[in-house]
Chain A
């Protein structure tokens, strides 16, 4: 009987330790994945949006490997688009409702982001100011200027919504419009860039 009790207790302890180790392992893996994404040159930290003091109305977080798996089916007809989506590492969207009280904070967050991006080697390639409509599109070129490693779109519309879109991956400059068209990100869909983005 004593042996049986010992075996039961040992099993319980072992089971508990395994569960704890699994949980730790999962957390560690999650943190590793997050850290790997954050270290990507095209990643934009959206934490400045917390200053908006409101929750996003829409949040989209699609990351590798899900993008790769789903990309195979996202567009059956267009093989190029399929490969393009499969090669992305992250697509994030945040959409906020703009109110008279949040618009100031939003513009401040946008301005702060612009300064940071400029410092980090990003280039603003589209800037639109038309009444209440503001659109900025930023690219992060690779060091050899052959690829785009990240895209950031900041759009304030007359529909009282502000959208922030960050796409991370290895994107050919000529594919930016295709991505914009597919994801329906206005401001990106009409961007046509020659192969060399900067000399």
Chain B
């Protein structure tokens, strides 16, 4: 029987490509940020609820599927620029004093490495960080961390994200505008 011996290099390259296309190369940043926040809140229990990693092939599929579903078609323009999404959601239990949480070391490292912090909210019961990275003439990456008294959500998105970023900034606040909190008084 003549069996062809597979080269280990070829095997490694194929596995890497598959992993990348499926998005299952997990971003360590998400885990590191969660670990840092959990370290700052020793009395709070974090239970993993969802981890999701979508790569270019899965995103292509998502874009195609949303094209056929009338209610989902609104999401299509935002997905157009997205090539990779990683999400981690943790349910939290315990007394979350979000205002006391310091910027996680990993986020600070990212800022030192050229990421920009667009938004930071430090409310009594809610914490938000929105970071982005520009490469050339495009917003190439976005990292969002949101924590309230029920859950911690971490999202990292790659692609050409101008449209998505605009949407995120418009909706960073429940009331609709990212600057709505800057209001002082009615005149």
A residues near B (Cβ < 8 Å) are 26-27, 29-30, 55-63, 65-66, 69-74, 91, 93, 95, 126, 128, 130, 133-135, 153-158, 161-163, 165, 182-187, 190
Interface centre among A60, A65, A158 (most CB of B within 10 A): A60
Q: Bound state CA distance, A95 and B112, in angstroms?
A: 24
B residues near A (Cβ < 8 Å) are 99, 112-114, 116-123, 132, 134, 137-139, 162-163, 165-167, 169-170, 177-187
When C-beta atoms are compared, the residue in chain B nearest to A130 turns out to be B185
Q: List 6 A-B contacts (CB under 8 A).
A: A69-B162, A71-B166, A73-B162, A128-B187, A157-B183, A163-B184
Contact A155 B177, CB 8 Å, known A26-B114, A65-B137: no
* Interchain CB contact under 8 A, A59 and B183: no
* Interchain CB contact under 8 A, A165 and B179: yes
Query: Which B residues are CB-close (under 8 A) to A91?
Result: 179
Contact A59 B117, CB 8 Å, known A133-B184, A161-B184, A187-B184: yes
Contact A135 B137, CB 8 Å, known A55-B122, A60-B118, A93-B179: no
Contact A59 B181, CB 8 Å, known A66-B132, A73-B166: no
* Interchain CB contact under 8 A, B182 and A165: yes
When C-beta atoms are compared, the residue in chain A nearest to B133 turns out to be A66
* Interchain CB contact under 8 A, A74 and B166: yes
When C-beta atoms are compared, the residue in chain B nearest to A69 turns out to be B162
When C-beta atoms are compared, the residue in chain B nearest to A136 turns out to be B184
Q: Which of A59, A69, A74, A186 contacts B120 (CB 8 A)?
A: A59
* Interchain CB contact under 8 A, A163 and B169: no
In the complex, how many angstroms separate the beta carbon of B140 from the nearest chain A beta carbon? 10
Query: Which A residues are CB-close (under 8 A) to B123?
Result: 57-58
In the complex, how many angstroms separate the beta carbon of B159 from the nearest chain A beta carbon? 13
Query: Which B residues are CB-close (under 8 A) to A190?
Result: 187
Q: Bound state CA distance, A128 and B187, in angstroms?
A: 8
* Interchain CB contact under 8 A, A26 and B113: yes
Interface centre among B119, B170, B186 (most CB of A within 10 A): B186
Interface centre among B116, B138, B181, B184 (most CB of A within 10 A): B184
* Interchain CB contact under 8 A, A185 and B183: yes
